[in-house]
Amino acid sequence: MSILVVIEQSNGGVHRMSREALAAGQALGRDLDLPVSALLLGDDTSCLSHSLESIQLDEILQAEHPLLRNYSSDGFSQALAQVIESESPQYVIAGHTYMVRDFFPRVSAKLNVPFLADNIAYRADGGSLTLIKQIFAAKLVADVVPAGGRCIISFQSAAFQEEDVVSGPGATVREVAISLEESAIRADSEEPFQEAAGAVDLSSAEVIVSVGRGIGKEENLPVAKELAEAIGAELASSRPVVDAGWLEAYHQIGSSGQTVAPKLYFALGISGAIQHVVGMKGSKNIILINKDSEAPLFELADYGVVGDLLEIVPKLTDALRA
Ligand SMILES: Cc1cc2nc3c(=O)[nH]c(=O)nc-3n(C[C@H](O)[C@H](O)[C@H](O)COP(=O)(O)OP(=O)(O)OC[C@H]3O[C@@H](n4cnc5c(N)ncnc54)[C@H](O)[C@@H]3O)c2cc1C
């Protein structure tokens, strides 16, 4: 029995959510006393395997093939299914990225193995695994117990912290043979989502300025944009701002938007509804400016200012620029 963590590449390095998945895999490995390996899929994964060298792993597996040069759900699902069949891991773990959402269900169907997706945590009681997952727009939390046997698992962004990845001596790197036919790759991928849409992948942003309904009107948005520029942050929002058409949908954080885990989340005029909080609660530091001292987000905030954001933010931006 073993754990296999599937690593995703992002801008030539290891995707942040794959590092979080490594933290999850290592923790589960410790709790269930199972060896943990990482799997790299691609045409040349040597760069990625170098970046895993200092991580405590039993093995780094490379499944390389020219047809994996560009991502395709056909190619990646076939490759992963073959690796799972040859390596027989008990648990296959990954971050719940766009790519994983796309190709893991195919692996699950091909192998007739359950895909337990988008979990926020797990419990390992007496050697058995329970996954914890939010349901009904995060109004309820469900315990999901795998039926036994193999299962494929993804964890939500920020469910685990990349800082918790345990370092160790270099793991051995081993190639795993896979065979792919060109005719089986039925679709080409377009450019990654954020580039195609002209948007930003907020899930990898380190600093975010997020605007809520408290901004009042579209004409006030420059107040937030200027703060974002001053501190090198990406701009995000709660849903009412998107619903009003003041910002594009890809700015939305929350249960029906993006999930983020920046080092700093600057919330301006956001109340803290659960549907928003589920998308940003993994932020390392949260600063809230809200004129209502009873706003629920103050409970989560590391720093809070009770006041009018339209008065405070311009002064703060000027001070930060000075
Ligand atoms: C199925 C479903 C899915 C949803 N998905 C999402 C989602 O993905 N993301 C999301 O964000 N929401 C989502 N929502 C909506 C969510 O329930 C809340 O309505 C929303 O998050 C509230 O956004 P808000 O905090 O900006 O607005 P409000 O709750 O209206 O809060 C505005 C805040 O601004 C403060 N304020 C007002 N003026 C000022 C000022 N001048 N200075 C400082 N503070 C001021 C107020 O005190 C208030 O706390 C969803 C709802 C449903 C039902």
The C-alpha angle 40, 49, 195, rounded to 5 degrees, equals: 65
Say how many C-beta atoms besides its own lie within 10 A of residue 69's C-beta: 12
Does the C-beta of 275 come closer than 6 Å to ligand 1?
Answer: yes
For residue range 196-254, list pLDDT tens digits in order: 344 567 877 889 999 999 999 999 999 999 999 999 999 999 999 999 999 999 999 99
Is 234 in a helix, a strand, or coil? strand
H helix and E strand count, the chain: 9, 17
Q: How far apart are CA 123 and CA 32, in angstroms?
A: 10
What is the chain's length? 322
Q: Whose CA is nearest to atom 7 of ligand 1?
A: 254
Say how many C-beta atoms besides its own lie within 10 A of residue 260's C-beta: 25
Q: Which domains, ranges and CATH numbers included, belong to the chain?
A: 3-189 (3.40.50.620), 197-321 (3.40.50.1220)
CA of 225 to the centre of ligand 1 (A): 18
CA of 266 to the centre of ligand 1 (A): 14
The whole-model pTM stands at 0.78
pLDDT, residue 194, reads 52
pLDDT, residue 195, reads 41
Distances (CA, A) of 160 to 28, 130, 195, 281: 11, 16, 27, 12
CA of 8 to the centre of ligand 1 (A): 33
Say how many C-beta atoms besides its own lie within 10 A of residue 244's C-beta: 13
DSSP class per residue in 63-129: EE-GGGSS--HHHHHHHHHHHHHHH--SEEEEE--HHHHHHHHHHHHHHT--EEEEESEEEEETTEE
> Please, where are the H alpha helices in the chain?
16-32, 46-51, 73-87, 98-111, 193-196, 221-231, 239-243, 274-280, 309-321
How large is the average pLDDT for residues 3-11?
Answer: 94
For residue range 52-86, list pLDDT tens digits in order: 999 999 999 999 999 999 999 999 999 999 999 99
For residue range 255-308, list pLDDT tens digits in order: 888 888 889 999 999 999 999 998 998 898 999 999 999 999 999 999 999 999
State yes or no: pLDDT of 137 exceeds 80.
no
Query: For a substitution probing ligand 1, which of 256, 293, 312, 316 has the most ligand atoms within 8 Å of its CB?
Result: 256
State yes or no: pLDDT of 124 exceeds 90.
yes
State yes or no: pLDDT of 151 exceeds 50.
yes
Q: How far apart are CA 122 and CA 113, in angstroms?
A: 19
pLDDT, residue 197, reads 42
For residue range 158-174, list pLDDT tens digits in order: 889 888 999 999 899 99
Query: For a substitution probing ligand 1, which of 202, 213, 292 has the most ligand atoms within 8 Å of its CB?
Result: 213
Is 208 in a helix, a strand, or coil? strand
By CB atoms closer than 10 A (0-12, 13-18, 19+), residue 319 is exposed
For residue range 310-321, list pLDDT tens digits in order: 999 999 999 999
Of 37 and 262, the structure prediction assigns the larger pLDDT to: 37
State yes or no: pLDDT of 101 exceeds 90.
yes
Confidence class for position 90, pLDDT limits 50, 70, 90: very high
Asked whether the beta carbons of 119 and 159 are under 8 A apart, the reply is yes
Does the C-beta of 236 come closer than 6 Å to ligand 1?
Answer: no
Is 174 in a helix, a strand, or coil? strand
Kindly state the percentage of the chain with pLDDT values over 70. 97
- Atom number of ligand 1 nearest to Cα 211: 26
Tell the residue number behind the tokens 């930060």, with chain if given: 320
Tell the residue number behind the tokens 């659960």, with chain if given: 274
Does the C-beta of 244 come closer than 6 Å to ligand 1?
Answer: no
pLDDT, residue 202, reads 86
pLDDT, residue 261, reads 85
For the chain, report the end-to-end CA distance as a whole number of angstroms. Answer: 58
